[in-house]
Amino acid sequence: PYVCQVDQMIMGIDQIRQTDLSRRQGPTTMQPKQQRVKTIAEQANIHQDRLFAESYFKAGAWKNELEGVDNTSPSTNQFIKFSNANSDPIAFIDSEKTSMNQQTGRMPNRLGLGINVFNALKVHPAILERVKYGGSTANPASVTENVLAQLFGVEKIVVLKSIMNNAGMGEDENMQYIGDPDAFLLAYATNAPSIDEPSAGYIFTWDMLGNGQILPILNYLGENGTHTEYVEGLMATDMHKTSDDLARFYKSAV
Cβ proximity of 113 and 156 under 8 Å: no
Q: How confident is the model at residue 8 (pLDDT cuts 50, 70, 90)?
A: confident
pLDDT at 30 over 70: no
Q: Lowest mean pLDDT: which of 77-86, 131-140, 151-160?
A: 131-140
pLDDT in tens, 182-192: 999 999 999 98
pLDDT at 177 over 90: yes
pLDDT at 215 over 60: yes
**How far is the C-alpha of 111 from the C-alpha of 189, rounded, in Å?**
10
Task: Report the pLDDT value the prediction gives residue 158, as an integer from 0 to 100.
Answer: 95
- The full set of domain ranges for the chain reads 6-251
Task: Report the pLDDT value the prediction gives residue 13, as an integer from 0 to 100.
Answer: 83
pLDDT at 106 over 90: yes
Task: Report the pLDDT value the prediction gives residue 63, as an integer from 0 to 100.
Answer: 96
Instruction: Using a pLDDT cut of 70, give the percent of the chain over it.
Output: 89
Q: How confident is the model at residue 199 (pLDDT cuts 50, 70, 90)?
A: very high
Q: How confident is the model at residue 124 (pLDDT cuts 50, 70, 90)?
A: very high
pLDDT at 76 over 70: yes
Sign of the torsion formed by the C-alpha atoms of 224, 228, 233 and 234: negative
**How far is the C-alpha of 85 from the C-alpha of 74, rounded, in Å?**
15
List the beta strands (DSSP E) in 28-128.
Answer: 65-69, 78-80, 110-114
Instruction: For domain 6-251, give the CATH number.
Output: 3.90.1690.10
Task: Report the pLDDT value the prediction gives residue 134, as an integer from 0 to 100.
Answer: 67
pTM: 0.84
Which of 186, 170, 233, 180 lies closest to 40, judged by CA? 233
Task: Report the pLDDT value the prediction gives residue 3, as an integer from 0 to 100.
Answer: 55
Cβ proximity of 52 and 45 under 8 Å: no
CB-based contacts of 17, cutoff 8 Å, min separation 6 = none
